[in-house]
Amino acid sequence: MELTGAEIVVRCLAEEGTEFVFGYPGGAVLNIYDEVFKQNKFKHVLVRHEQAAVHAADGYARATGRTGVALVTSGPGATNAVTGIATAYMDSIPLVVISGQVPTAAIGMDAFQEVDMVGITRPCVKHNFLVKDVRDLAETIKKAFYLASTGRPGPVVVDIPKDVTQHKTEFTYPKKVTMRSYNPVIKGHPGQIKRAVQMILEAKRPMFYTGGGVVLSNAAEELTQLTRQLGFPITSTLMGLGGYPASDPLFTGMLGMHGTYEANMAMQHCDVLIAIGARFDDRVIGNPEHFFQEGRRIIHIDIDPTSIAKRVKVDVPIVGNVKDVLAEMNKLIQASKEKRDQAALKTWWTQIELWRSQDCMKYDRDSSLIKPQYVIEKLHQVTRGDAYVTSDVGQHQMWAAQYYKFDQPRRWINSGGLGTMGFGMPAAMGVQFAHPEAMVACVTGEGSIQMNIQELSTCKQFNLPLKIILLNNRYLGMVRQWQEFFYGNRYAESYMDALPDFSKLAESYGHVGMKIEKPEDVEGALKEAFDMKDRLVFMNFITDQKENVFPMIPAGKGLSEMILV
């Protein structure tokens, strides 16, 4: 039987097992929406802005490991989606974004709501397609899902002109798709893995440095096994948190610009560094020239060859899926009879404990003002560390990463690479759809939350009981912090004046609003909020305006040049 392009889109999404499509209708996608209306295989979630549709699909993907799907119209619908697409691209999140396009005959005519979506998104997608013939549609969508979810994952855009959604063709959904130009490496090279294991066994001052690749490849179990059987210290990037339990004594905390003293010092002074699904980016190692350390050898495991030797030269590169490579390493290490230098490891740990005793995460616990760190610690306590925590971007993001001890992967959901303000709440929506019974908290700031505040309406429509944890310091805090440190206290445009009454705002959308002004009220308010299991609670914590994120490595410096409190 022949189907229209619009019917094919909907059938393909169903074939892929899509549960949710986050989207917003418009002229170019009206045919598709008509078919969405007629089906019951997946649920469509109407957002209030296309950026939020992509972030929600992204949050869903990060929390589940499945491919998120967004559907937007042409022109402004498509351009609004771009920030979401770029966010997913930087963090390697599998998404399929379907955008409407003007009819093929109108392309290039500066038609109403026309934009070159394939051109605009080219630098921020894993791949994109413009489907000009309905006979290519099903195979293209199959390819899009295949590309998005395999190898190093990423967003794929499928741009579909309106006439293609009207045209008819026979529908068959390909079971499998192969592309001669795309063959991601999964298994690591056995010789390289052997070399790496040998180096690990000989290490005197080893250090594991893990990133988002551990989470993306579902390798937390293999990583935990590897680390524990060796007893090595381990750190994680912002993106990798939860890949190894933060409450474990081997975990030295997050590293990087706002990482712990012990993690950064151990990175710098180790003799064998094992980088796993991480990419040595500027916020992690600072200046590569300062990072260089004579005599330190580096093993680097990553599925993407371009991540290896991009910023830092390595001694043993291993291209492969982190999960597969770590499983192979575990096998080899278990089978090995080699004596390891336990005395050296013990000395190394003594050094690390000395660094740790600096207690770089301390803050003033006796303040009469609410300290943001305290709110996160209490959030962890009240949720028993079992919540999904999304965040926006800025100081609150760093405090959430530092003080909510993530013990499981896929619980910490934030925009690490692109640093997108406005990500937190829509991402939390996607998480809550994926896990309706779970506690989902969005840690945010008064700057970030206003970048997608309209989604309070979506939350009402779909009864999403998010808990919004607003750390309100009336400043764009991270901007203010840099202005304080590096711009002579000239707070250019970083004061957030004319803030709304957030409680009333939340209430006007039909949610619960709370304002918390005293440290002694923090815990009670959090308990009360999380007890309201079926309501969104918007918690406005009035925090210390002057609090800064420590430790800090100034941009362009090295890991051992930290500013402590």
Partner 1 sequence: MENEAGALSRVAGLFSARGYNIESLTVAPTEDATLSRMTIVTRGSDDVIEQITKQLNKLIDVVKVVDLSEAGHIERELMLVKVRAEGDSREEMKRMSDIFRGRIVDVTDKTYTIELTGAGYKLDAFLEALDKDAILETVRTGASGIGRGDRMLKI
**Which residues are known catalytic residues?**
50, 112-113, 162, 478
Q: Closest by alpha carbon to 92, among 393, 417, 432, 427?
A: 417
| 162/112 Cα distance (integer angstroms) | 13
Residue 427 CA to residue 63 CA, distance in Å, equals 9
Report which secondary-structure segment, H or E, holds 60.
helix 50-64
- What is the longest distance spanned by two Cα atoms in the chain? 74
Using the rule CB under 8 A, is 44 a contact of partner 1? no
Considering only the stretches 173-181, 206-214, 263-271, 460-468, report the one whose residues sit in contact with partner 1 under the rule CB under 8 A: 173-181
Under 8 Å between Cβ of 382 and 516: no
CB-count exposure of residue 279 (10 Å: 0-12, 13-18, 19+):
buried
Contact characters 292-321, partner 1, x per CB under 8 A: ------------xxx--xx--x--------
Q: Which of 36, 147, 246, 278 binds partner 1 (CB under 8 A)?
A: 147
Paired tokens of 294: 């004579």
What is the rounded CA–CA span in Å between residue 422 and residue 390? 11
Q: How far is the CB of 130 from partner 1 (least distance, A)?
A: 7
Choose the binding region for partner 1 from 73-81, 126-134, 429-437, 547-555 (rule: CB under 8 A): 126-134
CB of 51 to partner 1, least distance (A): 22
Which residues have a Cβ under 8 Å from the Cβ of 276 and sit 6 or more positions away? 208, 209, 210, 211, 213, 214, 219, 223, 301, 322, 326
Of 150 and 198, which CB lies nearer to partner 1 in the complex structure?
A: 150
Q: How far is the CB of 196 from partner 1 (least distance, A)?
A: 20
Alpha helices in 253-371 (DSSP H): 261-269, 282-285, 288-291, 322-335, 342-356
CA distance 399 to 410: 18
From residue 280, alpha-carbon distances to 45, 271, 345, 414 in Å are 37, 17, 24, 18
142 in contact with partner 1 (CB under 8 A): no
> Which one of 40, 172, 178, 181 is in contact with partner 1 (CB under 8 A)?
181
| Minimal distance, residue 291 CB to partner 1, in Å | 16
Query: Among 175, 180, 337, 339, which residue sits at the site for partner 1 (rule: CB under 8 A)?
Result: 180
Question: Binding residue for partner 1 (CB under 8 A) from 42, 173, 182, 363?
Answer: 182
Considering the rule CB under 8 A, would residue 179 count as an interface residue with partner 1?
Answer: yes
Nearer to partner 1, 119 or 436 (CB): 119
CB of 148 to partner 1, least distance (A): 11
Of 81-89, 175-183, 346-354, 507-515, the segment contacting partner 1 by CB under 8 A is: 175-183
126 touches partner 1 by CB under 8 A: yes
Residue count, binding to partner 1 (CB under 8 A)? 18
Interacting span for partner 1 (CB under 8 A) from 41-49, 123-131, 160-168, 468-476: 123-131
Interface region with partner 1, contact rule CB under 8 A, candidates 41-49, 125-133, 245-253, 514-522 = 125-133
178 binds partner 1 (CB under 8 A): no
Residue type, 288: P
| Nearest-approach distance from CB 143 to partner 1, in angstroms | 9
**DSSP helix, strand, coil percent of the chain (3-state; round to 5):** 40, 20, 40
Q: How far is the CB of 181 from partner 1 (least distance, A)?
A: 4
Where do we find the tokens 């809550």?
432
CA nearest neighbour of 29 among 74, 82, 96, 80: 74
Closer CB to partner 1, 102 or 434, in the complex: 102
Phi then psi for 57, rounded to 5 degrees? -60, -35
Tell me which residues touch partner 1 (CB under 8 A).
Answer: 118-119, 122-123, 126-127, 130, 147, 179-182, 304-306, 309-310, 313
